[in-house]
Amino acid sequence: MKRYGFLWMIAILLIGTMAACSDNSSSSSDGGSGGEGKIELFSWWTAGGESEGLQALMDQFKEEHPDIEIENAAVAGGGGSNAKAVLANRMQGGDPPSTFQVHGGDELLAGWVAADKMQPLNDLYEKNNWKEVFPQELIDMVSKDGNIYAVPVDVHRGNVVFYNKSVFEENNIEPPKDWNEFLEVAEELKSNGITPLALGDKNVWPSTMVFESILQANLGAEDYNKLWNGEIPMDDERVVKSAEMFKKVLGYVNEDHSARAWQDGSQLVADGKAAMNIMGDWANGYYKSKDLKPGEDYGWFASPGTEGEFQVITDTFGLPKGVENPEQVKEFLTVLGSKKGQDAFNPKKGSIPARTDTDMSKYGKYSTDTIKDFKNAKLTPSLAHGSAAPEQVVTKVNQAVNVFVTQQKVDQFIESLKQSVSSLK
C-alpha cells in the first residue's frame, strides 16, 4: 500500500499541475492571446499628470487582459528629450519596443513609416469601426498611401497660456489679447516684483513653443502652416518680427530657466512665483496631479493672437515590425483606442480624447472648453512636438532657438532657421 500510496501522491501532484496549466490556457482561450511574452510600453510619461494617465491606461488594459503582462518602459525627459534617442538606438538595432509613443504627423510618417519600420493597422481600424470615431484630421496624421500606422490616444493643444488666478486678480491683470498687450502686462508684473513668464527650457523645446506661439500669431494659421512646406521662407518679414518679439519676451522669464525642466517652469505658476506659463496642456494634467483646481487656482487662454486656432499635438502608438507578439500588441492598441481606454487616460493626462464619442462627464472644465475649440478652430501642426516637420528639422530648429535664447542675435537666428528648413523645399 505504501508503494501505491507514494504513486498516488505523484499522480495527484501531476493532475494538479496539469489543471493549473489548463486554467492558464483557458484564460487565453477566451479571446486573449496571452502567455507568449509581455508588452513593453515605451513612452516618456513620468511627470505629474503623465504618469497618472499612463497608469490608468495600464490598469484598464490589465482589467481587460489579466493574462497579458504589460511593462511600463518609460524613459524620463519631457518632450521625449531622452526617450527619442533611446528609441532610435533600439529601432536601428532591431530591438523595437512592443509599442512606443510617437507624434502623429512627420515624426511618425517621415520617420518610422518612411524607414519601413511600422505595420499597417487598417484591419484594427475596420474591426473597431474607428473611422467613425476618430476625426479625419487625426487619421490623416497617422496615414500614408492608404495605410494607417498608429492609434491616436489624445489631442493636446500647444498654443496655451496657463496663469495663476490669484496673481492676476491681485495685480488687476486681464489676459493679453496680443503680444504688445503681453509686453505691457509683463512690464507691470515685473515692476510689482513678479516673474511674468515661467520658462523651464532645460530641454530647449519649451522655448521653441514660445517662439512658435509668436510665429503663429504673426502669420496666422494658414501662413504658419506654409512655413513647414517651404511656401513661405524663414526670412519672411513676419518671421523676423517674431524673432524680435521673442527677444523682448525673453526679457520677462525666470533667470534660472535653463536649469528647469518643463514641469519646474509650470510649478512656478502653481506656487504663485510666476504669473504665466506657455505650455502644452499636459500642464493641465500636471496642475490637476498637484490638486490644483482648473478655473479656481489656474486659468488659461489661447496664446496671444491665436484665438480660434488650435496647435495640434497628438500622441499615438503603433505596431513596430519584428515584435515577438503582434497579436498581444494589437490587444493593447484596441484598449488604447477604446472609449474606456481613452476615458481612463485623458482626464488624468490633461488632454482631450482622440475619439469624438467619449463620456464627457469624466472631463473637467478645461477639457470640455478645449473639445469645443478643437471642433471649431483652425488647426495647425506643432513643430516642437513632431507634427509640422521631420525630426531632423525639429532638432535643427531647437538648436537655433537654443543659441538665440543665450545670444539673442536676430540675424544669426534667421539664418539658422533658413538652414534648418532648407530640406523642406
Q: Which residues pair with 162 in a beta bridge?
A: 277, 300
Find the shortest distance in angstroms from Cβ 55 to ligand GAL: 14
Cβ atoms of residues 301 and 185 within 8 Å = no
CA-nearest of 65, 111, 119 to 340 is 65
Cβ atoms of residues 334 and 68 within 8 Å = no
Cβ atoms of residues 294 and 284 within 8 Å = yes
Residues in CB range of 12: below 8 A, 6 or more apart: none
Eight-class DSSP state of 292: P
156 scored as a contact of ligand GAL (CB under 6 A): yes
313 scored as a contact of ligand GAL (CB under 6 A): yes
**Cβ nearer to ligand GAL, comparing 238 with 290:** 290
**Cβ nearer to ligand GAL, comparing 257 with 385:** 385
**Contact residue for ligand GAL among 34, 39, 40, 50 (CB under 6 A):** 50
78/91 Cα distance (integer angstroms): 20
**Contact residue for ligand GAL among 316, 385, 391, 400 (CB under 6 A):** 385
- Site size toward ligand GAL, by CB under 6 A: 13
Measured in Å, how far apart are the chain's first and last C-alpha atoms? 89
Range in contact with ligand GAL (rule: CB under 6 A) among 28-36, 77-85, 125-133, 214-222: 77-85
**Cβ nearer to ligand GAL, comparing 78 with 318:** 78
335/331 Cα distance (integer angstroms): 7
Find the shortest distance in angstroms from Cβ 386 to ligand GAL: 7
**Cβ nearer to ligand GAL, comparing 176 with 347:** 347
57 scored as a contact of ligand GAL (CB under 6 A): no
389 scored as a contact of ligand GAL (CB under 6 A): no
Q: Scanning residues 173 to 212, which ones bind ligand GAL (CB under 6 A)?
A: none
Q: Scanning residues 242 to 281, which ones bind ligand GAL (CB under 6 A)?
A: 262, 280
Site string for ligand GAL, 340-379 (x = CB under 6 A): ----------------------------------------
Cβ atoms of residues 115 and 92 within 8 Å = no
78 scored as a contact of ligand GAL (CB under 6 A): yes
**Contact residue for ligand GAL among 34, 54, 68, 80 (CB under 6 A):** 80
Residue 269 phi/psi, 5° resolution?
-70, -40
321/116 Cα distance (integer angstroms): 8
- Other CB atoms within 10 Å distance of the CB of residue 30: 8
* Chain position carrying cell 512627420: 106
**Contact residue for ligand GAL among 42, 282, 287, 413 (CB under 6 A):** 282
Dihedral of the CA atoms 168, 170, 171, 175 (nearest 10)? 20
79 scored as a contact of ligand GAL (CB under 6 A): yes
**Cβ nearer to ligand GAL, comparing 80 with 347:** 80
CA angle 324, 329, 335 (to 5 degrees): 170
158 scored as a contact of ligand GAL (CB under 6 A): no
**Cβ nearer to ligand GAL, comparing 45 with 182:** 45
Cβ atoms of residues 328 and 39 within 8 Å = yes
Q: Name the residue type at position 37.
A: G
396 scored as a contact of ligand GAL (CB under 6 A): no
Q: Which residues pair with 42 in a beta bridge?
A: 100
Range in contact with ligand GAL (rule: CB under 6 A) among 43-51, 304-312, 321-329, 400-408: 43-51
**Cβ nearer to ligand GAL, comparing 65 with 202:** 202
Find the shortest distance in angstroms from Cβ 325 to ligand GAL: 25
388 scored as a contact of ligand GAL (CB under 6 A): no
Find the shortest distance in angstroms from Cβ 229 to ligand GAL: 22
In what side-by-side order are the strands of the sheet with 274-278? 195-198, 274-278, 160-164, 298-302
* Chain position carrying cell 538606438: 89
Q: Which residues bind ligand GAL (CB under 6 A)?
A: 44-45, 50, 78-80, 156, 262, 280, 282, 313, 315, 385
